[in-house]
Amino acid sequence: MSFPEMDWGPVWLTMQLAGVTVVVLLLVGTPLAWWLAFTTSRFRTLVEAVVALPIVLPPTVLGFYLLVALGPHGLVGGPWKQLTGAPLSFTFTGLVIASTFYSLPFVVQPLHGSFESVGKKPLEAAWTLGASRFDAFLTVASPMAIRGFLSAVVLGFAHTLGEFGVVLMVGGNIPGVTKVLSIAIYDHVESLEYTQAHFLSVFLLAFSFLILTIVYAINRRLPVHVS
Amino acid sequence: MVANVSGFLLILFFQMFSAVAVAEEVRVAVATNFLATAKEIITHFEQDTAHVVVVSSGSSGKLYVQIKNGAPFDVFFSADVDRPALLEEEGFAVRGSRFTYAVGRLTLWSADSDLIDKNGKTVLSDGTFEHLAIANPKTAPYGTAAQRTLQALGLWGHVKDRLVQGENIGQTFQFVFSTNAELGFVALSQVLDGKINGAGSRWDVAEGLHNPLRQQAVLLVNGQGNDAARAFLSYVKGPKALNVIQRFGYGVE
C-alpha cells in the first residue's frame, strides 16, 4: 500500500488541542479533586454529579449549549468578544473550552480517588514539621498521588483525542484551527477517500493503544503509597 | 350459504390485500436543503394516499455512502446529479428512474437585516465579518456552488481564511442562524422556510456564477418492489408537489 499525500495538519492540531486541554484540566481539576476528596460541604454530592455529567450526556447537548454560549451574543462569547475583539466560536480557544468540559471527569475522578486514598494524615505530618500547605501538597501529597496524576493526564489526553460530536457542532471544520483528527477522518470517509481515512484511523488506533498500554505498564510498577 | 361464506371470505381477502397495499411504508433519504420542502410534500402525499413516509436527512455525500453500504432507503433525493447517476451506474439505483425534481438557488444570507445589501459582492469584499459559512465543498453541492461563486467573483482568496464549513447545508444554516457566523451561503429554500420567512438580509446569487444546482431523485434497488416508493416519486412530479417546490424558491425543469 502506497501512502497518498498525507496531510499531517490534523494530527499536529489534535496533539496540540489534547496537550493544552490537559494542562488546563490539571490546573482546574487538581484543586477541584482535592476539594472533593476532603470537603465536608453538603454541596459535595452535587458538584460530583456535575463533574460526571459529560460521561453520560450525549456530546450534542454540550455542543448545542456551547454553540449558543460561545457565539458573539452568547453568555461567554459576548463578553469575550468585548474583551478581545475576536469571537470565540470556530477558534482553537473555543475548542479548548469545549474539551475542558468534555474531558473534565476523566481528569477529576482519578485525582479525586488517589487524593482520597493518600488521605490527610501524611499532610498533617508535613504541616507539623513546618511545611507550608502548598509545599506539603507539592512535595508530599502529589508524589503519593502519582498514579492518579498519571491516569488523569493520559485519560484526559486520550479522551480529548477521541472527541468528535462536540467539535463537529462548534468547530466549523477549519484546517489548522478546528479540523481535528476525528473530523478529518469523517471528512475523508464522506468524500470517499478511504485510503486517507484508513491511514489516519490506523494512526489513532495505534497511538491510543500505545499510550494506554504504557500507562497500565507503568501503573503496575509504580510504588504504592497509601498511608 | 356456502356461496355466501366464500363470497364473504373473498371480500375479506381482498380487503386485507388492499389494506396491505395501501399501508405501505416508503423510506426516503433527503439532502438537507430539501428537507423542509419534502416534509410539506409528504404531508400532502400521506393525506392523499394513506402511504406512510419515513424521512432521513443529511448531506448528499453522507447519504450516498450510507446507501452504498446498505442503508435501507427506498428513494434518494440528492442535492446533485452526480451521486444519483453514480448509484445508477454502480447498481444501487433502478435504471431510468432518475429525474430532476428541483433546481436549487444559492443565497448569501445573514440573520442581521442590515448586513447584506442588494449587491452582496460589496459585503464580501469590504465587510468586516469574522466568519463566512459555507457547506463543505467536498461533500455538499451547495458548498461547491458557494466556492465556485466566490471564485467567479474573484474573492475566494480574500475570504478563504474566514470560512467556516458546515457538515451539510443544514449545519451551515445553523451557524448563520445562531449568529456564530455573520453570514453564509445557504439554500434559498431554507430562508423561505416558514420558521424564517425571509427574515434577515440576503443576496440571491445569480445562477450564472456557479454550477447549476440540479437536484435529482432516484428509485433505489431497495425500493424496487415498493408501490409506495414509486407512488411517491410520481407524486413529486405532480402539480401539488411542484407548487410546494416552487414556493420554496426552487426552479423546476
pLDDT attached to residue A224 = 56
Structural contact between residues B87 and B179, judged by C-beta atoms closer than 8 angstroms: no
Task: Cite the residue boundaries of each domain of chain B with CATH code 3.40.190.10.
Answer: 2-103+214-247, 106-204
Q: Which residues pair with B25 in a beta bridge?
A: B52
Q: How far apart are the C-alpha atoms of A222 and B110, rounded to whole Å?
A: 58
Chain B interface, best mutation among A174, A187, A190, by max B CB count within 10 A: A190
Nearest to B65 among A71, A168, A189 (CB): A189
**Minimal CA–CA distance to A10: which of A151, A199, A192, A139?**
A199
Confidence band (pLDDT; 50, 70, 90) for B2? low
Confidence band (pLDDT; 50, 70, 90) for B7? low
Q: Which residues of A touch B139 (CB under 8 A)?
A: 187, 190-191
A160-183 pLDDT, tens digit each: 999 999 998 888 888 888 899 999
Structural contact between residues B37 and B245, judged by C-beta atoms closer than 8 angstroms: yes
Task: Please judge whether B163 and A191 are an interchain contact, meaning their C-beta atoms are less than 8 angstroms apart.
Answer: no
Task: Please judge whether B136 and A189 are an interchain contact, meaning their C-beta atoms are less than 8 angstroms apart.
Answer: no
Q: What number of residues does chain A have?
A: 227
Q: How far apart are the C-alpha atoms of A208 and A215, rounded to whole Å?
A: 11
B85-122 pLDDT, tens digit each: 999 999 999 999 999 999 999 999 999 999 998 777 78
A194-210 pLDDT, tens digit each: 899 999 999 999 999 99
Q: Which residues of A touch B168 (CB under 8 A)?
A: none
% of chain A with per-residue pLDDT over 70: 95
Helix (H, G, I), strand (E, B) or coil at B24: coil
% of chain A with per-residue pLDDT over 90: 49
Q: What number of residues does chain B have?
A: 253
Task: Please judge whether A172 and B65 are an interchain contact, meaning their C-beta atoms are less than 8 angstroms apart.
Answer: no
Position B21 pLDDT exceeds 70? no
B58-95 pLDDT, tens digit each: 888 888 988 988 888 999 999 999 999 999 999 999 99
Confidence band (pLDDT; 50, 70, 90) for A227? very low
Q: Which residues of B touch A180 (CB under 8 A)?
A: none
B219-246 pLDDT, tens digit each: 999 999 999 999 999 999 999 999 999 9
A64-89 pLDDT, tens digit each: 898 889 888 889 988 998 898 888 88
Q: Which residues of A touch B131 (CB under 8 A)?
A: 87, 89-90, 172
Position B124 pLDDT exceeds 60? yes
**Minimal CA–CA distance to A172: which of B183, B136, B110?**
B136
Position B1 pLDDT exceeds 60? no
**Minimal CA–CA distance to B33: which of B208, B220, B224, B214?**
B214
Interface of B with A (CB under 8 A): 59, 61-62, 65, 130-131, 133, 136, 138-139, 163-167, 171, 174-175, 178-181
Confidence band (pLDDT; 50, 70, 90) for B54? very high
**Residue B117 grid coordinates:** 445589501
Question: Which chain B residue lies closest to A66 (C-alpha atoms)?
Answer: B180
Interface of A with B (CB under 8 A): 67-68, 70-73, 77, 86-87, 89-90, 168-170, 172-174, 186-187, 189-192
Confidence band (pLDDT; 50, 70, 90) for B20? very low
Q: How far apart are the C-alpha atoms of A179 and A11, rounded to whole Å?
A: 9
Average pLDDT, chain A: 88
Position A2 pLDDT exceeds 50? no
A96-141 pLDDT, tens digit each: 999 999 999 999 999 999 999 888 888 888 888 888 878 888 888 7
H-helix or E-strand spanning residue B25? strand B25-31
B147-156 pLDDT, tens digit each: 999 999 999 9
Amino acid at A220: R
Position B10 pLDDT exceeds 60? no
Angle at CA A19, nearest 5°, toward A18 and A25?
85
CA distance B165 to chain A (A): 5
Q: How far apart are the C-alpha atoms of A71 and A89, rounded to whole Å?
A: 6
Position B8 pLDDT exceeds 70? no
**Which phi and psi angles does B218 have, rounded to 5°?**
-150, 145
pLDDT attached to residue B13 = 53
Q: What homologous superfamily does CATH list for B106-204?
A: Periplasmic binding protein-like II (3.40.190.10)
Domain regions of chain A by residue span:
9-105+153-221
Q: How is domain A9-105+153-221 classified at the CATH fold level? A: MetI-like fold (1.10.3720)
Q: Which of A43-47, A50-54, B114-118 has the lowest mean pLDDT?
A: B114-118
Q: Which CATH number fits domain B2-103+214-247: 3.40.50.970, 3.40.630.30, 3.40.190.10, 2.60.40.420?
A: 3.40.190.10
B155-184 pLDDT, tens digit each: 999 999 999 999 889 899 999 999 999 999
Position B190 pLDDT exceeds 50? yes
